[in-house]
Amino acid sequence: MDEPRSQAEILAAIAAAREDLTAGLADLRATVEELNARPLLTEDEREALEEQARSGELGEDMQALVARITSGEDTWERVFSGESPNGALLQGHLSRMVEEHQEDIALAFEELVEQEEARGNYLLDEVPDRGSGTTAV
């Protein structure tokens, strides 16, 4: 039988956990700041997307969206962040992309789950239900 831990051991474990959490939060904040500092689209990506949309290759909604963006009425950043009332024009294109790449998305998700499980993070073992508890899958 394990001997009970002393108060000092418990406090030391709590302090160590707090340090780990603080370090993890600092890393997360740094990552978020780095991601926020990057442009949403590179200049080349933006130009390619706009050219495809203008050509009609991405559908009428995307043509209309690019016309509003290039006229200065809106920006890609506002559209992708959900701040733009024109964001709905992107929906048809995104739906087609998901449909077209559904198999690749599923494979990428499986790979992500496998990588996390290799790290000891079993993402799909317990899924929160709509109540207060969790439900095993």
Q: Which residue has the higher pLDDT, 76 or 137?
A: 76
Alpha-carbon span 27 to 23, nearest angstrom: 6
Tell me the pLDDT tens digit for each residue of 18-36: 998 898 889 889 888 887 7
Task: Classify residue 93 by its DSSP letter.
Answer: H
CB atoms within 10 A of CB 86: 17
If phi > 0 it is left, if psi is from -120 to 50 it is alpha, else beta; for residue 72 that is left
Assign 85 a pLDDT band (cuts: 50, 70, 90): very high
Structural domain boundaries in the chain: 11-40, 43-102
pTM score, two decimals? 0.52
- pLDDT for residue 127: 53
CB atoms within 10 A of CB 89: 23
- pLDDT for residue 137: 46
Tell me the pLDDT tens digit for each residue of 89-128: 988 888 888 999 999 999 999 998 898 888 888 777 765 5
**pLDDT > 60? residue 131:** no
